[in-house]
């Protein structure tokens, strides 16, 4: 069953916490991964890989660069999850 | 009925008997790299964990570096050179196609008439060579096999390429593989993913020069960094896990983890994914050695043993991966 927006945000927050050590409550829709959450380009790849597994989506390398904020990622996952 | 062919007499198992390394004398700090690319020491350290690397001088050729490393490995194994009866050299940076560099090495080491050949498996070259060596020892075509990973990647580095200029280093790492009464090298999990052959590649083939081309830049290694990073952290952790499983070794049983020294971030990620316990010593040689491709695993192995971070008899998981893309992982008992 497809995850709801709320579930995606929560899941992403857990992933970001696991990979970058950022408190889950800081992971909000308007936050930029690199500027606000200390997720650099390589941690972002790890976040994407973890999100792919968790939400059953494929996020190609070219699309990763378009995911600037948590909101971008949530929208992408909601639209592409299988 | 065909005539009966008598098979060779092999050993029940094989093991790594000795290890040796050579690092070029010139140490190149990040500051020197910054003369050529727009970057910073902080960026290089945070994205790769690399602080310094060794670059070979004119006299530190592939052959000379190999002779140093191999001599140490032979001595470490307690052998005389003439006992070595096969020499396998893995390199992508020996610029003379034929004869193989292995023949000159076999001769100059004083092995007599050891079988000698080069292999090309990039950063998985050590695991490929080890697997071939194990097969030779067990099957009986050789008793003691010298396996060397050696690179002068500085010769194949475009100093103005931001995604590779800081990454590569030079050096040689060697092991001796020989007979054993106990299993001491696990099954190899290896393979290739040629659909990704463009993700790490030499920019131009050598024959551009023959065909009258005068390329602005000498051929170098270029890569799609993020694609390779993703493959390494995601797919290679699975391969490492599989190598443990087929060897019947749990993470708890493991003493040492020696992944190919490509990037500290890849190493950290693998350690996390594999859920390696605290007691496992992890090779982090990349910090001062950079990525030396086929040489990286034996170089790291030698350093861990020399500094007492690992001990003879320890159980180590090794995994190499790189251009091809190719990979090879196995569990070994350290010499
Ligand atoms: C090479 C590697 C460190 C590059 O990191 P990356 O995060 O993928 O780099 P990108 O090219 O995506 O660039 C990310 C950002 O850093 C910047 N950047 C790239 N190279 C830089 C450098 N050398 N110095 C400073 N900044 C750099 C980019 O301009 C970009 O900035 P922007 O987001 O503001 O546009 C990384 O991809 C890597 O190590 N991959 C694995 C490679 C490997 O191990 N290969 C060998 C396997 S055998």
Calculate mean pLDDT across residues B73-82: 98
Query: Of B158, B180, B202, which one is at a domain's C-terminal end?
Result: B180
pLDDT for res B1:
84
Which residues of chain B have a CB within 8 Å of the CB of A60? none
**What CATH number does the domain containing B271 carry?**
3.40.47.10
Known catalytic membership, residue B291? yes
- Of the listed ranges B47-56, B165-174, B214-223, the least confidently predicted one is B214-223
Q: How far A61 CA sits from the closest chain B CA (Å)?
A: 7
Calculate mean pLDDT across residues B192-207: 95
Query: Per the CB < 8 Å rule, is B230 touching A40?
Result: no
Mean pLDDT for all residues in chain B: 97
Query: Of B163, B180, B197, which one is at a domain's C-terminal end?
Result: B180
Q: Ligand 1: residues whose CB is within 6 Å?
A: A 41-42; B 37, 39, 43, 47-48, 123, 162-163, 223, 225-226, 228-229, 262-263, 266, 291, 322
pLDDT digits (tens, 9 = 90+) for B291-313: 999 999 999 999 999 999 999 99
Q: How far apart are the C-alpha atoms of B160 and A39, rounded to whole Å?
A: 26
pLDDT for res A82:
73
Please give the residue range of the domain that contains residue B61: 13-180
Distance from Cα B329 to the centre of ligand 1, integer Å? 26
Question: Does B5 reside within a domain?
Answer: no
Which residues of chain A have a CB within 8 Å of the CB of B269? 46
Are both B68 and B170 inside the same structural domain?
A: yes
Q: How far B82 CA sits from the closest chain A CA (Å)?
A: 48
pLDDT for res A50:
92
A42, A61, A64: residue with CB nearest B265: A42
Distance from Cα A40 to the centre of ligand 1, integer Å? 10
Are both B65 and B85 inside the same structural domain?
A: yes
Task: Give, using CA atoms, the residue closest to atom 7 of ligand 1.
Answer: A41
* pLDDT band at residue B213 under the 50/70/90 scheme: confident
Q: Which residues of B181-197 are buried (b: 16+ CB within 10 A; e: fewer)?
A: eeebbbbbbbeeeeebe
pLDDT for res A6:
87
Are both B33 and B152 inside the same structural domain?
A: yes
Query: Of B180, B215, B242, which one is at a domain's C-terminal end?
Result: B180
- Report whether A8 contacts A43 (CB < 8 A): no
What residues pair up with B328 in beta bridges, in sequence order? B190, B320
Are both B236 and B321 inside the same structural domain?
A: yes
- The pLDDT of residue B67 is above 70: yes
Calculate mean pLDDT across residues B187-192: 98
The total of structural domains in chain B comes to 2
Question: Does B6 reside within a domain?
Answer: no
Name every residue in A having a CB less than 8 A away from some CB of B. 40-42, 45-46, 48-49, 61, 64
- The pLDDT of residue B210 is above 90: no
pLDDT digits (tens, 9 = 90+) for A16-68: 999 988 999 999 999 999 999 989 999 999 999 999 999 999 999 889 989 99
ipTM value: 0.89
Please name the residues in contact with B103: beta carbons below 8 A apart, sequence gap of 6 or more: B87, B116
Task: Give, using CA atoms, the residue closest to atom 36 of ligand 1.
Answer: B225
- The pLDDT of residue A1 is above 70: no
Distance from Cα B217 to the centre of ligand 1, integer Å? 21
A44-to-A63, B72, B142, B313 alpha-carbon distances in Å? 12, 42, 48, 39
* pLDDT band at residue B326 under the 50/70/90 scheme: very high
Are both B157 and B197 inside the same structural domain?
A: no
- The pLDDT of residue B215 is above 90: no
Calculate mean pLDDT across residues A74-79: 92
- The pLDDT of residue B153 is above 90: yes
pLDDT for res B211:
81
Task: Give, using CA atoms, the residue closest to atom 13 of ligand 1.
Answer: A41
- The pLDDT of residue B256 is above 90: yes
Are both B175 and B196 inside the same structural domain?
A: no
Are both B241 and B176 inside the same structural domain?
A: no
Question: Does B281 reside within a domain?
Answer: yes
Question: Does B260 reside within a domain?
Answer: yes
**Burial tier of B142 (Cβ tally within 10 Å: 0-12, 13-18, 19+):** buried
Question: Does B7 reside within a domain?
Answer: no
pLDDT digits (tens, 9 = 90+) for A54-70: 999 999 988 998 999 99
B166-to-B49, B162, B163 alpha-carbon distances in Å? 10, 8, 8
Catalytic residue, chosen from B107, B123, B197, B279, is B123
Q: How far apart are the C-alpha atoms of B90 and B127, rounded to whole Å?
A: 10
Q: How far B302 CA sits from the closest chain A CA (Å)?
A: 29
């Amino acid at each position: 069953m497809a995850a709801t927006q709320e579930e995606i945000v929560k899941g992403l927050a857990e992933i970001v916490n696991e990979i970058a050590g950022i408190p889950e409550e800081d992971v909000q829709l308007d936050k930029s991964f690199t500027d606000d959450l200390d997720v650099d380009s390589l941690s972002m790849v790890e976040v994407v890989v973890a999100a792919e597994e968790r939400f059953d989506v494929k996020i190609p390398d070219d699309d990763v660069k378009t995911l600037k904020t948590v909101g971008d990622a949530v929208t992408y996952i909601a639209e592409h999850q299988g | 009925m065909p005539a009966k062919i008598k098979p060779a007499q092999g050993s029940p198992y094989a093991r790594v008997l000795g290890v040796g390394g050579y690092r070029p004398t010139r140490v190149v700090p990040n500051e020197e790299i910054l003369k050529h690319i727009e970057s910073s020491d902080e960026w290089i350290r945070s994205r790769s964990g690399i602080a310094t690397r060794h670059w070979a001088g004119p006299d530190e050729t592939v052959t000379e570096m190999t002779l140093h490393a191999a001599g140490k490995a032979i001595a470490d194994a307690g052998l005389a050179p003439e006992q070595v009866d096969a020499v396998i050299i893995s390199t992508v940076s020996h610029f003379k196609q034929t004869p193989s560099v292995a023949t000159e090495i076999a001769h100059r080491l004083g092995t007599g008439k050891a079988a000698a050949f080069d292999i090309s498996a990039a950063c998985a070259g050590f695991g490929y060579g080890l697997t071939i060596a194990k097969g030779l020892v067990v099957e009986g075509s050789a008793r003691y096999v010298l396996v060397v990973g050696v690179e002068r990647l500085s010769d194949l580095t475009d100093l103005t390429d931001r995604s590779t200029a800081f990454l590569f280093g030079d050096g040689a790492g060697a092991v001796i593989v020989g007979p054993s009464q106990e299993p001491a090298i696990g099954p190899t999990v290896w393979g290739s993913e040629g659909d990704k052959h463009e993700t790490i590649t030499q920019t131009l083939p050598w024959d551009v020069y023959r065909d009258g081309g005068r390329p602005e830049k000498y051929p170098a290694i270029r890569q799609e960094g993020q694609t390779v990073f993703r493959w390494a952290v995601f797919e290679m952790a699975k391969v490492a896990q599989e190598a443990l499983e087929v060897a019947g070794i749990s993470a708890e049983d493991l003493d040492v983890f020696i992944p190919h020294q490509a990037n500290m971030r890849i190493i950290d990620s693998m350690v996390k994914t594999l859920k390696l316990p605290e007691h496992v010593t992890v090779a982090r040689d990349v910090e001062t050695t950079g990525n030396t491709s086929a040489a990286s695993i034996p170089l790291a192995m030698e350093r861990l043993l020399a500094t007492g971070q690992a001990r003879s008899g320890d159980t180590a998981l090794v995994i190499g991966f790189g251009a091809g893309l190719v990979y090879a992982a196995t569990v070994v008992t350290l010499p």
